[in-house]
Amino acid sequence: MTRHHPDSLSLMEYSAGNLSEPHALCIRLHLDECPHCRSRVDTLDSLGAVMMEQQPKVSVSEGMFDSILSMIDSEPAGAAKVATAPRMSALQKLLGDDINKLPWKRQLGDVSVLDITDRFPGQSEQVVLQKLAAGGKAPAHTHRGEETTIVLQGAFADQKGVFNQWDFVVLNDQDEHKPVAVGCEDCITLSVLSAPVKLTGTFTRMLNPFIR
């Protein structure tokens, strides 16, 4: 069961089809595993369809979206009925059969990366897989822009908590963190970055120009 979810605005943008392809993929992978968010998107989809039919007679404020979403949140999670694209086929199509056997590039210490931006032609965001070796830790860093991440395998922890498989996290330039891999598997994440990460440790800061 995932504990870290996309926010309401991201789900609305997903439902409206406004997200970039890699960003939408992160949400779709999460939805496959999260009945709570699936239920919210299901309702947003229905609402969107009604609005399309009734336009321009009905105008919907953001406050109305919020009240609808809070009504959904009070329902039991099992109510979700949306069938999303099978997660494994979406990932396999993108990455092949074994995510652990990709041509990973060792970055710093326990961190390996693989830039897969070129698999999303025609969009401007950088798309990166990151692997933190089991039991390993990443250097302290902030993020120059917004980074949307989903955990594909294993788990990591930072000062905000533990992020397990299919958990969703958005980080920005206010978030300095030092993630560590927890559990016995390598932790692999998929991230969509609007700008590169910025290392903040005293030594690793010197290496910044060499990181992405």
**In the complex, which residues of this chain contact Zn ion (CB under 5 A)?**
5, 34, 36-37
Nearer Cβ to Zn ion, position 107 or 165?
165
- Sorted by sequence, the CB contacts under 8 Å of residue 114 that are 6+ apart come out as 102, 103, 104, 105, 128, 129, 131
Tell the smallest beta-carbon distance from residue 11 to Zn ion (Å): 9
Minimum distance from residue 2 beta carbon to Zn ion (Å) = 5
Nearer to Zn ion, 37 or 150 (CB): 37
Q: Which two tokens stand for residue 108?
A: 């710093």
Q: With respect to Zn ion, which residue has the nearer C-beta, 77 or 114?
A: 77
Least Å distance, CB 48 to Zn ion, is 19
Residue 166 to residues 47, 85, 193, Cα–Cα distance (Å): 26, 15, 18
In eight-state DSSP terms, residue 65 is H
**Between residues 34 and 129, which has the closer beta carbon with respect to Zn ion?**
34
Closest CA to 152 of 207, 109, 94: 94
| Minimum distance, C-beta of residue 96 to Zn ion, in the bound complex (Å) | 26
Q: What are phi and psi of 20, to 5 degrees?
A: -65, 165
How far apart, in Å, are the Cα atoms of 137 and each of 23, 140, 178? 26, 9, 7
